[in-house]
Amino acid sequence: MFLCLSRLSLRLGRVSRCHGDRRLIATVVSGTKTARDVKQRLVLQVEQMQTHFSGFRPGLVVLQVGDRDDSNLYISSKLKAAAEIGINAKHIRLPSTTCQDEVLRNILALNEDPEVHGLIVQLPLDSDKPMDQDLITNAVSPLKDVDGLSCVNAGRLSRGELRDCFLPCTPQGCMELIRQTGVSVAGKQAVVIGRSKIVGAPMHDLLLWNHATVTVCHSRTKDLPDQVSRAHILVVGMGRAELIQGDWIKEGAVVIDCGINYVTDESRPSGRKVVGDVHYASANQRAGFLTPVPGGVGPMTVAMLMQNTVISAQRFLQNQTRT
């Protein structure tokens, strides 16, 4: 029903623009709602595991170094989601004085712990000591790397071995939101803005292996508006408040905004508000589908982390029953 209505609204928008009397208003793609549906499905899966495997629960550990406010906020939303689903989540916070070897020792011990099925290191590391972030990310066992950030998982994704790896949570959440629109990715021109290991690069891989033709833009890209105007599917993750303007966007495009930027807003008690990388009001007049910020990609990232943890626990149980 949703898909039919969505397609219909896209079609109506195009027709009305031909007559030049009405502006297209994008269909909002709600991450809050989609994430709620994903989490409800996961609750059932965890209940089944508990029933069939004598109270078994998936285990997730979030390892933090230091005490950054933004990290604390993200961690609390992960722990809350885990508790709602029935995942046994644990938060280990190491002081910022911890040395790299000590962090690695913790990771290696958690890799061996059979009650831990998902292990994530909260980034960025907030440490007084020198830390090799890549070394630490890669110390997490690929079998428990539910953030999908290790070289093993990233390599599998880049080769299109999608079933054998853990997909990074934010791009996976974006794909899920694109699916919600009912717009097929195959054969479409997709443009990704940003090439980070967490968002842009894996987003490129996912779109590519779902058969889009993909262009990746970054800070040295010339004529960003021209690149954006070619996209049937546009995924933006650059951390530049409202930089993407509506009149750059192809009419009817699917626009997924990963950006989380805090800007001044004197009308609020906090004195600030969160906005995306896309200028929402103008994009709303051009896109066919648009994710809001907040309430778009953010909740999906957490939901996909929970999904990966449940998948990891399922794989663990399959291996146990085989041996």
Instruction: Determine if 75 is a binding residue for ligand NDP (CB under 6 A).
Output: no
Contacting ligand NDP within 220-239 (CB under 6 A): 220-221, 224, 237-239
Q: Give least dist CB 136 to ligand NDP, A.
A: 16
- Taking the least distance from each CB to ligand NDP, the nearer of 124 and 271 is 124
Cα separations in angstroms, 106 against 65, 113, 117, 136: 11, 11, 15, 10
Euclidean distance between CA atoms 95 and 97, whole angstroms = 5
Instruction: Determine if 320 is a binding residue for ligand NDP (CB under 6 A).
Output: no
Euclidean distance between CA atoms 304 and 161, whole angstroms = 18
Contacting ligand NDP within 257-286 (CB under 6 A): 258-261
**Among the options 33, 39, 78, 144, which is catalytic?**
78
What is the rounded (10 degree) CA torsion for 281, 286, 287, 291?
0
Q: Give least dist CB 72 to ligand NDP, A.
A: 15
Conformational region of residue 239, where left means phi above 0, alpha means psi within -120 to 50, and beta covers everything else = left
Phi, psi dihedrals of residue 264, rounded to the nearest 5°? -65, 135
Q: List the structure tokens of 282.
A: 């103008």
Instruction: Determine if 297 is a binding residue for ligand NDP (CB under 6 A).
Output: yes
Instruction: Determine if 10 is a binding residue for ligand NDP (CB under 6 A).
Output: no
Q: Which helix (H) or strand (E) holds 276?
A: none
Catalytic annotation on 78?
A: yes
Q: Which stretch binds ligand NDP (CB under 6 A): 135-143, 155-163, 206-214, 219-227?
A: 219-227
Instruction: Determine if 199 is a binding residue for ligand NDP (CB under 6 A).
Output: yes
- Taking the least distance from each CB to ligand NDP, the nearer of 191 and 253 is 191
Instruction: Determine if 322 is a binding residue for ligand NDP (CB under 6 A).
Output: no
* Member of 48, 97, 219, 320 binding ligand NDP (CB under 6 A): 219
Task: List residues bridging with 65 in a β-sheet.
Answer: 94
- Taking the least distance from each CB to ligand NDP, the nearer of 87 and 198 is 198
* Member of 298, 307, 309, 310 binding ligand NDP (CB under 6 A): 298
Q: Give least dist CB 26 to ligand NDP, A.
A: 19
Q: Give least dist CB 7 to ligand NDP, A.
A: 26
Angle in degrees, 0-180, between the axes of helices 169-181 and 31-52, rounded to the nearest 10: 110
- Taking the least distance from each CB to ligand NDP, the nearer of 24 and 125 is 125
Euclidean distance between CA atoms 139 and 272, whole angstroms = 38
Euclidean distance between CA atoms 253 and 320, whole angstroms = 46
Residue linked to tokens 């998936």? 58
Instruction: Tell me the residue ranges of DSSP E strands in the chain.
Output: 27-28, 59-65, 88-94, 118-121, 189-193, 213-217, 233-236, 254-257, 261-264, 272-275, 289-290
Instruction: Determine if 294 is a binding residue for ligand NDP (CB under 6 A).
Output: no
Instruction: Determine if 196 is a binding residue for ligand NDP (CB under 6 A).
Output: yes
- Taking the least distance from each CB to ligand NDP, the nearer of 74 and 316 is 74
Q: Which stretch binds ligand NDP (CB under 6 A): 33-41, 61-69, 188-196, 207-215?
A: 188-196
Using CB under 6 A as the criterion, what x/- string covers residues 131-170 for binding ligand NDP? ---------------------------------------x
Q: Which helix (H) or strand (E) holds 163?
A: none
Q: Indicate the SS3 state at residue 44.
A: helix
Q: Name the residues that contact ligand NDP, by CB under 6 A.
A: 170, 193-196, 198-200, 217-221, 224, 237-240, 258-261, 297-298, 301
Catalytic residue set: 78
